[in-house]
Amino acid sequence: MRVRVATTVLGTTAALLAVPACSTDTAGTRPDTAPSARTGKPADAAQQAAPLSSATLETRLLDESDLGGGYLRKPERPSQHDDVTVIGCPALSELGGDAATGGALSFPHKAKADFTYGGSSSEVSEELYSDSATKLSNGIGRIFDAMTGCPTYQVVAGGTSIDMASQELPVPRGLGDEQWSQLLTFSTGGRSTVVKQTAIRDGSLLLIVSGSPALVDRHLDKALTKATAAS
């Protein structure tokens, strides 16, 4: 899983923090309490379907024709490996810098697509992973639990200090076997960027849709439908 924020917000760290976002001048307000970021039944031995190949996952990603008018696919950025330090969240520090910034999950089968919308800063990203149901459940669950377990913390990446805030969101019940959802706010240089991130595990497939909250809500169902159509 990756978390990318807009280049206008993070400058040289944009390639490191990798999920598209919706920029605002100030961070949104946060309720005192929020529902769990995870629902569903954890994987068991009966759910261990064979993983899908990366080539197969590529065919199951949304494309411009699925999304509708106004969407353009972005070329994938080359990977960068800046030093990352987490301050104020021991659970994320233990998982390492990649997890702290939503870095790519270490599953062997994966596919990803990023899109811009209407020539604006609004973006949406889709990621697909495949592995055993147990490995998917444990991997994504650990990261979401760590991120939402620290309401505020700080990340220093590539020399840039980023104030982070995480908020658990209601999950999309009835989709897949397990669901997670959160709202992340990245603040630096007097500006804030808000990213919604929702993950759904369906058997041996994990879908993550991230970006502008409205676009995530709009395309989540169709992304899952296409990703699982031939399962």
Position 26: which residue type?
Answer: T
pLDDT at 10 over 90: no
What mean pLDDT is predicted for residues 28-53? Answer: 56
pLDDT at 21 over 70: no
Task: Give percent above pLDDT 70 in the chain.
Answer: 72
Residue keyed to tokens 């630096």: 188
Average pLDDT, the chain: 79
Cα separation of 6 and 126, whole Å?
16
Residue 44: per-residue pLDDT = 58
Cα separation of 27 and 194, whole Å?
7
3-state SS assignment for residue 228: helix
Per-domain residue ranges for the chain?
Answer: 7-23+39-228
What mean pLDDT is predicted for residues 22-46? Answer: 46
- Asked if 204 and 43 touch (Cβ cutoff 8 Å), the reply is no
Contacts of 143 (CB under 8 A, 6+ apart): 1, 95, 99, 102, 105
Token pair, residue 83, equals 């030093």
Cα separation of 202 and 52, whole Å?
12
CA Rg value for the chain: 16
Q: Per DSSP, what are the bridge partners of residue 86?
A: 155
- Range from 28-32, 183-187, 189-193 carrying the lowest mean pLDDT: 28-32
7-23+39-228 folds as Protein Transport Mog1p; Chain A (3.40.1000)
Q: Give the chain's largest Cα–Cα span.
A: 50
pLDDT tens digit string along 134-183?
999 999 998 899 889 999 999 888 788 999 999 999 988 889 999 999 99
